[in-house]
Structures are given as C-alpha cells and as structure tokens.
Chain A
Amino acid sequence: MRKFFAIFLGTLCCGKSLAVARFPKPDFTSGYQYPDIVHGAPYELLWNVLDVVLLCGMMMLVVWAAYRKRRRAVIWSMSAVSVLYFGFFRSGCVCSVGSIQNVVTAAVDSNYHLPWYVLLVFLLPIVFALLFGRVFCAGVCPLGALQELVNVRNFRLSRAVSATLSVIPWIYLAFTILYAATRSQFLVCRLDPFIGIFRLGGDLGVMSFGIVLLVMSVFVGRPFCQFLCPYGALLSVFSALSWKKLEITKKGCINCALCGVSCPVDAIRPPQRSKTKEMRRKGVNRVILFTVLLPVLTVAGGWLVSGQSDALSLAHKDVYLYEQLLRQEANPDMEEPLEVETFHALGGNMEELKEKVEGIREEYKTYAWLAGALIGFVIGFKLLKLSLKRGRKTYEIDMARCTVCGKCFNYCPQNLKKDEKTIS
C-alpha cells in the first residue's frame, strides 16, 4: 500500500522526490532500537461538549439574571468568565460569529463536514434570541464581553448616525456569506479584531485594529457589536421578534430618563409623541414610495455587486493563482511568485485550472448577486422602517438593539427600590 502510494504520488508530482529510499535502511549490529517518539495528542473533543454546556448554561444564567433578578452583577461576572474561558483559555475558536461561515459552507457544499458542536454554537444563541433576546451578546460572547469589561463611560452618539452605521454589519454579513459560500476564505475569522488579544499574537494590522476598538469601547458602548458584528445583525432580527420582552422594572416607570442615559448601545427609547406636524397624506405617500423602492433597491444591489464578481473572486485562492499565472505568462521576465513556482513545479495543468476558475466565477456571479440583493434589501427595509411613526408612553427597550448588559437595572430607581426594602 505504502509503495503504491509512493508510486501514485511520484507520477502525480512528476519526478518530485518523495521519501525515496536513496539510502538503504541501516543494518544495526549494536542492537540499536528505534526510539519511540510520542507526538502531542490533539485536545480532547470533550472540551467541545464543555463549551456547548457552558454556552447554554451561561445564557440561562443571563436569562435568569435579566428576567428574574434584574441585576447586572451576574451578567457582568458572566462576561469575566467568558473572556477568561472562551477567550483566553479556549483561545476563541470556534465562536458563534465565525460559525456563520461553517454553516453557510455546509449548506452549499454537502462534502463539507459540519461538526455537531459548531452547529449548536451557531443555533443556540439564535434559539435564545427567539425566546429572550440577545442574551448571548450580554456576557457569553467573548468579543462582546471583552468590550463590556473595559467599558467605563458612555458618550452618546448621534442616533441618526448610529442608525446609518448599523447597516455596516449587514454588508459585512453579506460578504461573509459570499466568501464562505464560494469557499474562498473565512472573512470573519481573518478580520476578528480581538482574537489576537486572546492568543497574544496574530496579524499586526488586525490586532492594532482590535486595540483601537478596545480603546474606543472604553468610552463608547461595544463599538464592534453595534457597528460591525455580522452575527449581532442576525441575532437582532430574531431578538426583535422574541417571545419575551425585557422590562427594566416591574414597578412602573416614573419616566426619570436614567435608564436611557445608562444604555451603552442606545437601545432604550424614551416616551414619544410626535410633535412634528406633517400631512398624513405625505407620510402615507412616503411609506408607499419606500415599499416600492424595496424590491428596486434589492435588484439594484444584486446587479451592482454581481457586476464586481470577477474582481471579488480574486479572494479565492485558485482564481488569484490563475491571474498570477496569466500575468506571469504575459510578462515572463517578472520574478515568479511562490504560488506560480509551486504550480509549475507540481506540474499543474493550466487548462484544468482555467476550467475550475470559470466554475468558481460562475458561482461568484450567483452569490455576489445574492449578497448584493441582501445589502439592497436591508437598506430598503431600514428606510421603510424609519418612515413609520410610532408612539410610546413609557421608556421601552428596543429588543433588536439591546445586548442585555443589564446596566439599566442598576440605574432604574424603581428597580432598586425592592432591595432597599428588603435591607431595611
């Protein structure tokens, strides 16, 4: 079998020398014994079980703390546990944010192996979001938890600006899906800003970006979660439709506005009665306009991004190699990049590669269209939502934005009352 393997490879790699016995096996006369070399064992898969159990348990604890106790302490300590365990100890892989890509890849490629725990890591936070809101973001996600721990004070951003910026996670998500579905690369993993901190090493550029984000999060609540995280975008949809809604206090709002000020992600909406005088007719017309615009924007987005599919496809290793080969052919004096050199050394077939690349580019056309359509749809939907009027009587939590950090509990005077009573 071994011999066969060697021959097989030998023909494959055209003359590349592979474990060829140039020198015969020595005949030892001194009774020499081959040493037993033990290689480091891979980590036990049991850790994955523990990960999932902890993930589930910590989310339950957060639910209990947020819905029953209404206290921040438990949630904050969960953050600390998460940063230490999921972050530093387990060094951040695999996380729910990154698992989007595994799931997307598994969905398009039936040969791709999706381990059960990765699927659970992806699904559990969504299930919890459908039931209780974004409890995963609260103190279980190590990325959010890290920002939570360093957060000291919140300086308010203009709401109009932050509403605009909240489109970015969707664009990020669209490209993540595009690159995962075409099996090009895992964008989220590559650009994960905090993994370098957990691992104490990594790409310097990405790490510096992470540090900048971390410094920002001292004064602005969770910049990554608010304006970048693609998984947060996904969760916000489910969270908006959640079965239970978070309440700051059971004892009746006194409209003191403290909760609204305390919220790091600006998820608490103050009581509202529209003072603007606008013709009802005009408002209705606007809603109709944006409803019509929604499919138009979707199609336009799809068209625009799929127009870029050839350039985008350069993110795929094979396409990039093909382009490099073409460039080399056009300009043979150029120094050969390593990829080209290896391609030639291994006797790569240009025709086969070309066929493969054409296949990939076809795929890119489809998925780039979908990604663009998603972006267009999100923009259209946001516009539509922003043109709807809604009134509120008390301070209310916007479940789509709320990351269940629990800060408002500790600010609400009504919520704190009970403690004083029990103490006294």
Chain B
Amino acid sequence: MRKLYRNISVVTTVFMLVLAVMLGVSYYQMQQVSPLETGVMETLKELNETNGDNELLGQQIRELDLLSRKAYFVKEGQLKVGLYLLLGMAAVLAVCLNLYFKETKNLPEKEFDPIDEWMIKSRARKYIAWAAVVALLVGIGFVGFQHVDFKGLLARSSGELGSASDTLAAQDSLIPQLSTVNSQLSTDSVKGEEVDSAEVDDGMPELKIASRAFRGNNSSATSSARGIATSWNLSAKKNILWQSSIPKHGYNSPVITGRNVFITGADAKARELYCYDVWTGELKWTVKADGIAGSPGSMPKVNADTGLAASTVATNGEVVCAIFATGDVIGADMEGKRLWAKNIGLPDNHYGYASSPVMYGNTLIIQYQNNSNAQILALNAKTGATVWSKKGNDKIAWSSPIIATLGGKSALVVMGNPAITAYNPNNGAEMWRVECMSGEVGSSPASAGGVVFGASEYAKCVAIDGATGETLWEASDYLPECSSLAATKDLVFCATSYGMVCAYDTKTGEVKKEHDLTTPFYSSPVVVDGKVYLFSNSGKVYIFSASTFDLITAFETGEKTFATPAFTDGMMIVRTDKSLYCVKKN
C-alpha cells in the first residue's frame, strides 16, 4: 500500500511540475503580451489604413484576428482548467504524502544542536549580534553613499522602464510606421514659438520667435514678433539689414527658425531648397531635390502665375520639408543634409500644385488635393514615412492647411472644395466637416478664438464654431482669390484680387471697414504687433491698425511681391520676385 502511495505521489509531482511550468508560461504570456495586441496585427492594421484598397490585406487581418481571438479565449479557458487541475493534484499529493509518511512518525533523530540549551542561546546571540553588526555597517555604508545609492536606485528603475519599452520597441521595429506614430504621439503638443536663445559663435543670437510655415507658425497668419519697422527704403538702404539674390525663381514665402531663413526655387532643370542666414543674408546651403524615385522626367505643365515652386516650406526647428509641383517632397536638417526624399505622385493640376504643407510636432501635413487622387497626407518629418493619410472625394484646391486650437485641442483645418474640414492631426480622424465652398479654392483659412474662418472667390466667407462645426455666419461682401484670410479675435482681414480690402466682424460677419486700394493682392495679410502688414502685387506696402483696420501708412518698395513676409524679433523677411531682403530698424 505504501508503495502505491509513493508511486502516486511521484507521478503527481511530475505531472504537477510539467503543468505548473506550462501554466506559468501561458500565464506570463497572458499578462505580458496580450495575444490580441500583437505587433504583427497592429502593423497590418496600420498598413491597411495607409495603403489603398487592398482586399488581400483586409482578408489577412480578418483571418489573423479570428485566429488570435480564438487563441486568446482558448488559452483563457485552458488556464482556468489547468489551474483547477493543478489544485486538485496538489490535494491528491498532500493526501498521498501524508498517508505514505503516516507509518513513519517523527521519531527522535540525531540531534545536531548541542544538548545544552545555554550553548544554543550563546550561539544564537552570536549570530544575531553578527547580523546586527553587518546590518549596521551596511546601513552606515548606505548613509555614507546615500546620493550614490539614490541615483543607482533611480537608474535601476529607469532601466526596468527602459527594458520594458525596449521589448515593445523590438516588437514594433518591423514597421517604421508604428514607431513614427509612437514618436509623434509623444511629441504631441504643437510647438508654438520656440524659446531658445543659445548663443552662436559669432555672437549673434538665434531668434526666439520663429515663423515655421507659410504665414507663420501653424500657418496662423499672426506673429508675436514686436518692433517691426513701419517704413523702409530698398534703394536708400534705410531700415534694410541685407538684401540677397535668389538663384531660382519661386512664389513661395520665406520661413524662419533659429537663425535660418528657408525658401525654395525651381526651374525646368532643378528644384532647390535654400537656407539663408537671418543676420547676414548669406546663402548658407542649398539642397537639391533630385534623383528621387518616381519623379517625373519632364516638368508638369504649370501656369506662369504658379510656377514649379509655389509651396512654402515647413519646419519644426529640426527638420525642414519642401514640396514642389512635381510631387517631390524632401526633408533636410538644419545643417543642409538631405534626410529623405520621395515622390508622392505627380499632381494632376491644371495650374500647378501650390498648397503649402504645415508641420505639427514631428508630422508634416500635406493637403494633396488635385484633379484625381485627393488626399491629406501626414508624413514623419524625420523619415518621410507616412503616419496617416486620409482619402476623400474633394475636388481640386490650392488652399493650404492650418493648425488651429479648437475647443482647447489642436486641430488640422483643411479648406477645400466643397468643404472646410477639421481633423485630429494625430490620426486624421475627422472632427467636423462643413460643406460651404465651391469654385476654385486658392485661399487658406484662418482661426481665432476657437472660430475658423474661410473664404473664397465664387463662394462665400464663413465662420465656423471650431468646437462643434456649427456655421456661425456667412458673408459674401468681398472675397479673396489668392490671398488668404487673417484673423484676430475681433476682426477677419481679407484682401481681394481686385483691390478691395476689408475687415469683417468675427461675431456677426458684418463689414466693419473697407478700403478700395485699386491694386491686386496675391500676398496675404499678417497680423503682427497690433498691425496688419499687406503687400500688393506691385510691391506697395499697406500697414493697417489691427484693432480698427484704419490705414496707418502705405509706400512703394519698388519690387514686385507675391509672397507673404515672415516675421521674427524686430525683423521681417520679404521675398520679392527676384530677391530676398530683411527689414530691421537701424
């Protein structure tokens, strides 16, 4: 009988060991990596979103999903059954062992302790005393090196964190898209004006206020710059810091970050990104958009008013990205090293591609709406990988997207034909959509106080509540064609192609003030330091008060200007049709 108990015990022990290891592993898996959240699965889903209609991919996802769900629930069931089995076996083992040892009671065995209790006590005393001394020494050591230990402790815990994220990263490393989403999420907040005044070698500071896209940061048509000159003279060099020539033509506007000024230029031979020094006007470097796979061999047919380089560049202070009418997009760092380049498809555009991208954190957002294949693309600025994309049925538009703060959150506002749409810039999820546009939309929207304003010739001017997507008012007194809107919380400024400029009331849509200037405007108004700066095509500058829209001053500069100026601390960079100059009080 005893033999039987022994055998049962041995068999159950072996079974229990095997079962325990199996259950342990499966439990660990369930705890650590949710079988439903595998990297492969997420990758496939991401791919599905970025790729076009790929029925095969969908099929694959569905199969994998079914499989992993089955695995999950089966595993869950198995775990439960296994644990009960283990418990039952433990009970059997305990009973068998008890029965086996029942005959052999604990009988006095050879005492290894000394018989004399006093000796045991003395020995215990010694042990405790030694343990206490060791503890004391260790404690004193810790106190002595406390800050060292403290750092070690922190490092250890961060190491744990790090290794956890490492394993995650390892899982995700298969797919660049995924990691870009992660990195993009972590740098979620849109950086506004970067406060950074590290001294550079020649003693000239980097500028605190940047203008990182078409019409300023986030394409907002406002700047926090102050002390901008209100008069200058190019020929007399009055209030002009420098003037430089531009190698290749383009209608795009300058962009400023740190001490770099970026513009692009293009002709049939080459498309180039230029970096100028904001203090000297010296051309620091040029990056060519050449040798790009998928780039068209011959230039697309474009209107002379648009050109091959109508799109302004966008930067986040680390990477600058430029797009050309060929569909070539490049990214370069601040030292002029080209980081990546790709062709996103030749734009089917009868005037030429003209929309300027905007930068949101580390994401470059491109409104790529042409006669066919209209979409919004979000690329990782550092790698060019697609973060998300959003296809739509919108018609062609030349408008540029903006990043606005709506209901306390950053939103991407895209004005197209036929709708103004707000998206979550992190993932492209649509927040609201208002169909209100028609015709050829070339103007860009503006936003102030959580309200989005959009206007286009042959359509109307609308104000939309950014939180709800509700239309607040509509007006059609004066409408812009190429020039874009600028807004303060009280007024919306609008410059037309037929010489009328006006200011709408943001609350009611009523025209507060209008001026007939009898000269066309392609450049856009910018609100800076309580004033509105506006260039006419002929190069005449108009400066208005931003609160009343009264004309403060107007004068000719002598050079044709189609681009919108960029502002930074006490300086304004203007691109004319042949040169780039910097206005600074002297």
Contacts and interface: CB of A to CB of B under 8 A. Distances in A.
Contacts of A154: 106
Interface residues of A, number: 57
Interface in A167-189: 167
B15 interface: no
A15 to B, nearest CB: 3
A14 interface: yes
Interface stretch (B94-102, B337-345, B365-373): B94-102
Contacts of B84: 200
Contact of A15 (B113, B161, B409): B409
Which of B20, B128, B158, B407 is most buried by chain A, counting CB atoms within 10 A of its CB? Answer: B128
Contacts of B409: 15, 17
A269 B101 contact: no
A304 interface: yes
Interface stretch (B23-31, B275-283, B304-312, B556-564): B23-31
Nearest to B164: A337
A304 B124 contact: no
B131 A167 contact: yes
B117 A327 contact: no
Contact of B27 (A201, A261, A307, A389): A201
Nearest to B98: A152
Given A297-B132, A327-B158, A337-B161, A257 B150 contact: no
Interface stretch (A50-58, A156-164, A351-359): A156-164
B121 A386 contact: yes
B139 A164 contact: no
Interface stretch (A1-9, A100-108, A308-316): A308-316
Contacts of A15: 407-409
Interface stretch (B33-41, B52-60, B140-148, B495-503): B140-148
B195 interface: no
A320 to B, nearest CB: 8
Interface residues on B, range: 35 or more
B27 A204 contact: yes
B127 A160 contact: yes
A165 to B, nearest CB: 9
Interface string B499-514: 0000000000000000
A358 B83 CA distance: 46
B3 interface: no
Given A150-B90, A327-B154, A386 B125 contact: yes
Contact of B149 (A269, A311, A341): A311
Interface string A98-139: 000000000000000000000000000000000000000000
Contact of B136 (A156, A161, A300): A300
A12 interface: no
Contacts of A240: none
Given A152-B101, A200-B83, A274-B117, A336 B186 contact: yes
A14 B408 contact: yes
A383 B408 contact: no
Contact of A164 (B107, B113, B124): B124
Contacts of A389: 118
A211 B150 contact: no
A382 interface: yes
B45 to A, nearest CB: 23
A382 B126 CA distance: 11
Interface of B: 20, 24, 27-28, 31, 80, 83-84, 87, 90, 94, 97-98, 101, 104-109, 112-113, 115-129, 131-132, 135-136, 139-140, 142-143, 146, 149-150, 153-154, 157-158, 161, 165, 186, 407-409, 468
Interface of A: 14-17, 22, 149-150, 152-154, 156, 158-161, 163-164, 167, 200-201, 204, 208, 211, 218, 257-258, 261-262, 269-270, 272, 274-276, 278, 297, 300, 304-305, 307-308, 310-311, 314, 323, 327, 335-337, 341, 379, 382-383, 386-387, 389, 411
15 contacts: A15-B408, A156-B109, A158-B113, A160-B113, A163-B121, A204-B24, A204-B28, A204-B31, A258-B108, A300-B136, A304-B136, A304-B139, A308-B139, A379-B128, A387-B121
